[in-house]
Structure 1
Amino acid sequence: MMREGAVRWLSSAGFFTMRWWEWGPEDGAPVICVHGLTRSGRDFDALAQGLAAAGRRVICPDLPGRGASDWLPDAMLYQPPVYVAALSHLLARIDGPVDWVGTSLGGICGMAIAATPGHPIRRMVLNDVGAFVPQEAMARIRDYMGNEPLFEDIPALEAHLRTVHAPFGNLSDAEWRHLAETSARPGGDGVLLHYDPAIATPIRATEAQAIDMRALWALVKIPVLLIRGADSDLLLPETAAEMAAQPHVHLAEIAGAGHAPALMDPAQVALVRDFLGQ
């Protein structure tokens, strides 16, 4: 059964609340699952249930500005160092070793934490994100953000998600509907996406540029499962191969998916579960 949790965290603009969704036994070994740029912790419902069935305590936060978490008063705060600060308060609350599953932005946050001396991450899954993000992928992300319309109803929002997030893979109708229902908030005479539109501001403030995190990645020494969508434009094959050359990295490629595999398919859930169970 899903539970809700929250932590107050401190930023330069004051204290805010970050909320999360939790599954599994409260005394289970914790796994933190952190979503992508425009998503929420509810994306991990299927994965969380699979991990909870294996006895894990699974915590899926909504990053600031998303889902049930507080929005921030300054749009320029919507950047990875601030997300890491919020997540650090959650890690302090847990106060012990954790495993980490990070999709896209959630993986960037995980790398930043795992590169820091004294971090608590034991094993990490990076879902379609790596040490280098090409300019073309950043341009694609920049172009679809910041123009979020008012949708007439949930089916209209679902149709939008099916187009924008087609690279998630071959999801069932029920899975797309779940993503739509957990991505909606009331707005006027219809529904809006769950996030603060201002999260796009830092990205749209400048021309799209490649992100080189190889110096950060070099500091990550824990066991890593690197998942790549076979058609991904964000985690390029050469970047994945370079990362997987390290002995502590295992690379798995998901056919029929781009950026990023949804981690809803039973085989993908088992892949993550078995890696974290080692």
Structure 2
Amino acid sequence: MQGKIMKGIAGFYYVEVKGQTVYECKAKGIFRKDNIKPIVGDNVEIEIIDEDTRQGNLVKILPRTNALIRPPVANVDQAVILFAIVKPNPNYNLLDKFLIMMRQYGLPVIICFNKQDIATKEEQQELYDAYEKCGYRVLFISVKEERGLDELKALLKGKTSTLAGPSGVGKSSLLNKLVPDAGMQTGELSRKIDRGKNTTRHSELFLVKELTDEQQETFIIDTPGFTSLELRDVTTDSLMGYYPEFEKYEPECRFGGCSHIAEPDCGVKKAVEAGEVSKVRYDNYKVIYSELKGMRPDYSKGKKR
């Protein structure tokens, strides 16, 4: 019998068999032997142990189209990264690191900025200029007032999307709008530290019934909030490749292999000064470059004031 892992907790995997029910399964020992760990989103084969109690064993993981390390999910079509425009202000450095990770996986990203109802047009324009102009799809929404949700739903339909973002930006509230029966606990924003409590402890996949029909299913994966990300397999030499807006101006650099940091007559730095490349993005590039080089970064450059 085939199904999909919807959730994994403490060695138990909850597998939904299409059109039937959810079975609580343990993984066979062969997975440990082969050093394979089942993850949310995996399509699997199970054997039923007890139909009455809906218990079974996970016996096979079907081929994956992809597998992410953080968040650990499989068979994803796209990523939706959610930040707030204000309260809390977005940490651009954290956002850029997430975008780098998704480019490594080859996944398209929808950048979704929440709390449009309490943000100014100027604050929204700054975000638009920084990210839409370098090739990312940017949406401004208000979960509270349900603004922009129809546009987001159109982008989600028929796909499996992983929903990620820091705590306190409205991730659980958005999920509740998309999946009314998810029963997610909405985190309260801490006024003292201007940061939300992380109410999601594990990744979980939900069927978005409103966007599902006989031809196609729509899934969204809720993942734990994060306050930091560690880049893997990125070097100072390869970092510029994750900033596609730089490429147009690199032929104008005096030196081949220009790092766009300290070299004179740098085409990218001139583009930043002319307003053709986002200063926000460039400042974050310098911060991440410093981290990769082992220097002490100035994190104030990566946060909105």
TM-score for the superposition, normalised by structure 1? 0.31
Higher share of residues assigned helix: 1
Which one has a bigger Cα radius of gyration?
Answer: 2
Name the structure, 1 or 2, with higher relative contact order (CA <8 Å, separation 6+): 1
